[in-house]
Amino acid sequence: MIISRTPFRISFAGGGTDLPSYYLKDDGQVISTTIDKYIYVAVKRQTAIAEHKFRINWSKVEFKDNVDDIEHPIVREALKMMKIDFPLEISTFADIPAQTGLGSSSAFAVGLLHALHALKGEMVTKGTLAAKASQLEIDILGRKIGKQDHYSAAYGNLNVFTFHSNGSVSVDPVFYRPETKEAVDSHLMLFYTALKRDANEILKPQSERTDEKRRILSKMKDLVTPIREVLSTGSNLHQIGTALHQGWLLKKSITEKISSPSIDEYYEHALSAGALGGKLLGAGGGGFLLLYVEPQNQKKVKESLSNLYQLPFQFENTGTRITYYDQLEV
């Protein structure tokens, strides 16, 4: 049995510029970090006498004998990509619900490929895992999503990712002092709106309007460098809140599907209670609301959003990893 652990991510700025519709003309750029909330993927080779060749445990349980019959699209295409046709059981567990803006499907793709490579006795780089996972979701499954989630989940920690027109991705770690990390951790609050959405359905119209909204997306990308500088120097941390607010206002103007009256109301309540800024994570439409709040105002902000669940979290720095490895023959 092999078990992989892959983190979810929060993105600070540049989202949307990791879509091919943007970076094929202009380099895209995103700054994001992973957090200590994970998806776990367990894969186990079964004996030849297993009743069915494949058992897939997710929100439903599938028993299949042919790869092409597997309903879970990422599992089906990952097994094809890895050329796996022996009896196998796959199970997944997560700290966070799917479709909530933390990059869950991409983290699952990265974690599944990592576990399957390990099951075959293959060591692969984080870059390879990210590239293969993004190829699976974007090129093979045709999802209108960007690459940032795959790279963030694979590499972990705080990074600036640059997406080039030739399809390559540059990964630049953001170096910060431990006290800066602790300070930023203590200023960020994450609230679950309980609204779930399909990122593909929101990003598809955004992708179609990229040329029309390119100037706005470029302004969002321009926020990456100042946020990086603040995190690197550890000074003027409040500017993170200001940048998040600027980015959220720009993001909302791309399509009407990104926000909603209820989300706008939550955000305004938080600002009135003392939050300096924030954003809805992921494509928009629901999921988690990230806020930058000075410690003395956090109680007021929490009270203003009393009907939402606050998720405690911290940055993590490992990326995807194999947490259990047992290659006993069956």
pLDDT digits (tens, 9 = 90+) for 280-323: 997 667 889 999 999 999 999 999 999 999 999 999 999 999 99
Amino acid at 180: T
Cα pseudo-dihedral 190, 266, 287, 209, rounded to 10: -120
Low-confidence residues in the chain, pLDDT < 50: 330
Distance CA 24, CA 211 (A): 11
Could you tell me where the DSSP H helices lie in the chain? 20-23, 73-81, 104-119, 126-134, 148-155, 178-187, 199-208, 214-221, 224-233, 238-252, 261-272, 298-304
DSSP letter assigned to residue 47: P
Q: Fold for domain 2-175?
A: Ribosomal Protein S5; domain 2 (3.30.230)
CATH of 178-312, one of 3.30.420.40, 3.30.70.890, 3.20.20.140, 3.60.15.10: 3.30.70.890
Q: Where are the domains of the chain?
A: 2-175, 178-312
- Classify residue 272 as exposed, middle or buried by CB count within 10 Å of its CB (0-12, 13-18, 19+): exposed
Which strand ranges, in their side-by-side order, compose the sheet holding 309-310?
277-280, 288-292, 188-192, 309-310
pLDDT of residue 325: 92
| Dihedral pair phi/psi, residue 90, rounded to 5° | -125, 130
pLDDT of residue 330: 47
Find, among 81, 90, 92, 64, the residue nearest to 1 by Cα. 90
pLDDT of residue 239: 97
Distance CA 329, CA 281 (A): 43
Same fold, 2-175 and 178-312: no
